[in-house]
């Protein structure tokens, strides 16, 4: 299962973006400074977000990024999928004709992981960027 900093950064950056892009495009530099994420790394992440049509880019001076959809329509599933965070619990090779063990059977626990995957994905499908904006203001420790 992969769920690492890259996905977290993507979400953080998009929440940041969603807050400011009403006025102007938001530069990665600003996000970098506000969120404490390396600029170079952000560029990699936004390249993928753009390919997946979650953000639009505006080049040149005063350029930056803006959301390409309504925050309510950007689900966490979309974000993670875009940055290759695979919510995949184990590598039971589904596509292969053989089972997970190289035998002709599914491994004992196969169904369990399927269930878990559904459980987690449901969570992400029901959460949108908007939910994060309204419920999760940056709070003091």
Partner DNA sequence: TCTAAACTTGACCATTTTAGTCAGGTATGT
Partner DNA sequence: ACATACCTGACTAAAATGGTCAAGTTTAGA
Binding site for a copy of itself (CB under 8 A): 1-5, 8, 11-12, 15-16, 35-36, 89-91, 97-99, 101-113, 115-116, 119-120, 123, 127, 132, 135-141
Q: Transcribe 3-32 into DSSP letters.
A: --HHHHHHHHHHHHHHHHTTTS-B-HHHHH
CB 14 within 8 A of CB 79: yes
Q: Residues 79, 13, 71, CA angle at the centre, nearest 5°? A: 55
Instruction: Decide if residue 121 touches DNA (CB under 7 A).
Output: no
* Residue number with CB closer to DNA (33 or 118): 33
130 binds, among a copy of itself, DNA, none (CB under 5 to 8 A by kind): none
Which position among 22, 23, 60, 96 is part of the footprint of DNA (CB under 7 A)? 60
Q: Nearest 10 degrees: CA dihedral of 48, 90, 9, 11? A: 80
Strand, coil or helix: 51? helix
How many residues appear in the chain? Answer: 141
Q: Least Å distance between CB 116 and DNA?
A: 16
Shortest distance in whole angstroms from residue 111 CB to DNA: 20
Q: Is 14 in the site for DNA (CB under 7 A)?
A: no
Query: Pairing between strand 55-58 and 64-67?
Result: antiparallel
Binding site for DNA (CB under 7 A): 2, 4-6, 9, 25-29, 37-41, 43-44, 46-47, 50, 57-65
């Amino acid at each position: 299962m992969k769920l690492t900093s890259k996905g977290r950064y993507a979400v953080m950056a998009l929440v940041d973006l969603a807050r400011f892009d009403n006025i102007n495009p938001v530069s990665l530099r600003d996000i970098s400074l506000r969120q404490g994420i390396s600029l170079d790394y952000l560029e990699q992440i936004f390249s993928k977000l753009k390919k997946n049509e979650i953000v639009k880019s505006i080049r040149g001076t005063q350029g930056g990024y803006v959301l390409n959809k309504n925050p309510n329509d950007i689900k966490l599933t979309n974000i993670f999928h875009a940055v290759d965070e695979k919510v995949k619990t184990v590598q039971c090779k589904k596509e292969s004709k053989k089972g997970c063990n190289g035998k002709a059977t599914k491994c004992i626990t196969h169904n369990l992981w399927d269930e878990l995957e559904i459980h987690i994905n449901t969570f992400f499908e029901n959460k949108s960027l908007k939910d994060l904006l309204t419920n999760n203001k940056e709070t003091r420790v």
